Structure 1
Amino acid sequence: MKTDTVITKPLLEIDKSIDALVKQIELLSFVNPTNIEEEKARFFSSKYLTQPVFKYPDINFDRFKLHRKLFKQQIELIEDERIKNLYEDIIYTYSGLIKCIETIGSGKKFYYNSLHCFGTPTEIDVENAKYILHFEDEDLDSQAFAPKYNAKEAESFFRAYSEQYDFTYHIKHSDKISAIAMVSNNAKTLVLNTNHVYSDNEIAVLTNHEIGVHMVTTMNGLLHPLKIFSHGFPNNEETQEGLAVFAEYMSNNLTVTRLKELAYRVIAVNSLSKGYSFSKTFRLLHNQYDLEKEAAYYITVRAHRGGGFTKDYLYLTGLKKVYDYYHANKNLSLLLTGKVSLEYADDIESLIEKGLAVPAKHITDAYAENSNTNKTVDFILKNLK
């Protein structure tokens, strides 16, 4: 369906203006410490008592000017009330992300801005995490979980997996990220952590998670008349991470051990709301929950980076929402149209009908068929509150 250019001209101009403003505010580009490994050595040598002093990339834009230009958008010119409300939500969301970036490393200020953007675990979320942690790890093939491949060797697996998709992207290596791999949306780049040695299981998980969902939604997001599909709807992080872990489930790579990792993240983020320091969160995971010290350190870094980054609890809540959405026979491809949110599924359908968006071109390979055979994982996901 062709769009009515008289109706959509103000909308497209506002969308284009916002696009130019927000290209530079990818939060993960700024919130990952640049000295994770150096601080790990210092933290371990102190017997887990010192607080790491993290350094962050320089911010390369004028934050105040960006706020001012965002709120100068004349969204009252958008005649469609539903779309106008969506853009109002989007402007407030992007403003919140700018506040997060400008307060990285400031402690409580960043934490409160993170709370505003991402929220914090509810009591039910914490109960769900503790429920998962009661399960025993599976007796899995140790060979599949043995570290084998450096980042350069791992790269070949990602390239081979990606041949099934009709898009190209960049791969780079870094020792400055807290994840073992991540997709940089704006740069259309997969970043692999050079400090990590990858197992066969991690390769299987990450290809489905990072390429099968994060890169798929990056590429789909670029195909729309509206650029918000590329930069992100409000609360898109929960849906995106839920979709990505759900791809692990559908491809039969989601294990109880992996679910426990997501549960530990909820526990770590919840510790922020209790005012725990870095070392206290680490000791909670390592001593009380008996998590191996390397894993406990990196999960603690993820939660405490910036001054208290609450996003990590959303992996588990997002997974549960996408799992239930799928089992209600709803349309997963709607959620692959870009960096979108489950809560806006009806808006996405409406935008497609109006010719302002297009159906997803690239579809997550794992979603073609449910290959999960892990009955314990299914039991857990069904019974999460």
Structure 2
Amino acid sequence: MKIENNVASKALLDIDANIDKLVKQIELLSYVNPLNIEEEKQRFFASKYLTDPVFKYPNINFDRFKLHRKLFENDIERIEDEQIRKLYEDIIYQYSGLIECIENIGNGKRFYYDCLHCFGTPTERDVENAKFILHFEEEPSNEGIFEPKYSSEEAMTFFKDYSKRYDFDYKIESSDKISAIAMVLNNVQTLVLNSNYTYSDNEIAVLTNHEIGVHMVTTMNAQLHPLKIFSNGFPNNEETQEGLAVFAEYMSNNLTVKRLKELAYRVIAVDSLAKGYNFSKTFRLLHNQYDLNREKAFFITLRVHRGGGFTKDYLYLTGLKKVYDYYQQGKDLSLLLTGKVTLEYADDIENLISKGLALPSKHITDAYTVNSNTNKTVDFILRNLK
């Protein structure tokens, strides 16, 4: 690969490598998932939904103050390209914010305010969009595709079979220490399935396209670049990454009204944080007012209240709308698959590719090759979100 201006690029590559060494341990999801979910769920149910869970979290294995100091010691003035220098300035501030998030996990309001800085919170328009979705009827629940059938061990077979369409390898594990039903750990290229969960055919179809088709695809593409920021993440990449992942569900004809409503409930739950609701009040909002069964209400509430108030979950819906609109405008989705990148930095990605500092995507989300969606209600909803 030819890299323009070797002297200037060496400064950039040195700074990028230094940042990479510092932030490899900043995998927020590794720290924010409680260790005692099942025990606290049973205690919460036994209290008739009145006593908030008391969650325990993994120990942090890095020196937070030292990490902050070394991040800001990077002499980004050595980066001659003004556009790239501004990108790295944004990146350093973003990583600093994530360190603060990790530092304050379990510290209530402090963690919540750090999350506001990193992820924001739903606007009034976002809440209106969520309520708009909740007006639609779900698909009939008696359809066999929604019936829980598969343990995490059985589900692994489906993921391994689906993954044969991609030219990469990754690890797959199960755990009872995650709040999601599945998640990709980017730093260790591992898919983790929730060992306490029983999966339906629809969930297998959704998760293979979501977790492998996008999250693992972007993990693997990111490793091919000279610059490690594609692996460690551009600023605010969560919205784009989750939007791409849910859009893969849509393109593969697996996005249902039922699933969209789940994303809408997450927005409602995050909005409850801004209103000052505690865990039990958010749970009762979902369980009593919105008539969610107690298991679903608990896990949506858990996702949002873990750490002290984790606001990221509202971004699935906003990200989906942005990626849907981007696709409808005829823009190149493969540009957003180059790594853990952000739609708003598309020009920066193109600039880095043009200078030989990044590569076009090698692995392309299988679902993106043809639009297989036939769900007209889902199409109507996505077109009409504000």
TM-score interval, smaller chain = over 0.9
Query: How do residues 115-126 of structure 1 correspond to structure 2 at under 5 angstroms?
Result: 115-126=116-127
| 2:277 partner SS | coil
- 1:333 alignment counterpart: 334
Residue 193 of structure 2 is aligned to residue 192 of structure 1? yes
Aligned counterparts of 2:131 and 2:39: Cα–Cα separation in 1:
32
- 1:56 alignment counterpart: 57
Once the two structures are superposed, residues 291-348 of structure 1 have per-residue CA deviations (whole angstroms, 9 ceiling, x without a partner) of 1110000000000000000000000000000000000000000000000000000110
| 2:165 partner SS | coil
Residue 366 of structure 2 is aligned to residue 365 of structure 1? yes
- 1:76 alignment counterpart: 77
- 2:114 alignment counterpart: 113
Aligned counterparts of 1:105 and 1:140: Cα–Cα separation in 2:
37
Aligned counterparts of 1:224 and 1:141: Cα–Cα separation in 2:
47
- 2:27 alignment counterpart: 26
- For residue 139 of structure 1, report the CA deviation from its aligned partner: 2.5
- 2:164 alignment counterpart: 163
Aligned counterparts of 1:26 and 1:138: Cα–Cα separation in 2:
36
Aligned counterparts of 1:141 and 1:5: Cα–Cα separation in 2:
62
- For residue 52 of structure 1, report the CA deviation from its aligned partner: 0.3
- 1:42 alignment counterpart: 43
TM-score normalised according to structure 1 size: 0.99
Aligned counterparts of 2:142 and 2:209: Cα–Cα separation in 1:
20
Aligned counterparts of 1:141 and 1:372: Cα–Cα separation in 2:
21
Percent identity at matched positions?
Answer: 78
Which ranges of structure 2 fall in alignment gaps of 5 or more residues? none
Aligned counterparts of 1:277 and 1:238: Cα–Cα separation in 2:
25
The count of residues paired between Structure 1 and Structure 2 equals: 385
Q: Match of 1:242, as an amino acid?
A: G
- 1:322 alignment counterpart: 323
- 2:14 alignment counterpart: 13
Aligned counterparts of 2:85 and 2:379: Cα–Cα separation in 1:
40
- 1:274 alignment counterpart: 275
| 1:182 partner SS | strand
- 2:260 alignment counterpart: 259
- 2:303 alignment counterpart: 302
- 2:245 alignment counterpart: 244
| 1:183 partner SS | strand
Query: How do residues 205-216 of structure 1 correspond to structure 2 at under 5 angstroms?
Result: 205-216=206-217
Once the two structures are superposed, residues 263-307 of structure 1 have per-residue CA deviations (whole angstroms, 9 ceiling, x without a partner) of 000000000001000000000001111111100000000000000
- For residue 140 of structure 1, report the CA deviation from its aligned partner: 5.6
TM-score normalised according to structure 2 size: 0.99
- For residue 217 of structure 1, report the CA deviation from its aligned partner: 0.1
Aligned counterparts of 1:366 and 1:205: Cα–Cα separation in 2:
11
- 1:355 alignment counterpart: 356
Once the two structures are superposed, residues 238-268 of structure 1 have per-residue CA deviations (whole angstroms, 9 ceiling, x without a partner) of 0000000000000000000000000000000
Once the two structures are superposed, residues 363-383 of structure 1 have per-residue CA deviations (whole angstroms, 9 ceiling, x without a partner) of 000000000000000000000
Residue 10 of structure 2 is aligned to residue 2 of structure 1? no
Q: Match of 2:368, as an amino acid?
A: Y
Aligned counterparts of 1:181 and 1:258: Cα–Cα separation in 2:
15
Once the two structures are superposed, residues 3-42 of structure 1 have per-residue CA deviations (whole angstroms, 9 ceiling, x without a partner) of 1211201100000000000000100000000111110100
Aligned counterparts of 1:164 and 1:297: Cα–Cα separation in 2:
35
- 1:102 alignment counterpart: 103
Aligned counterparts of 2:38 and 2:89: Cα–Cα separation in 1:
41
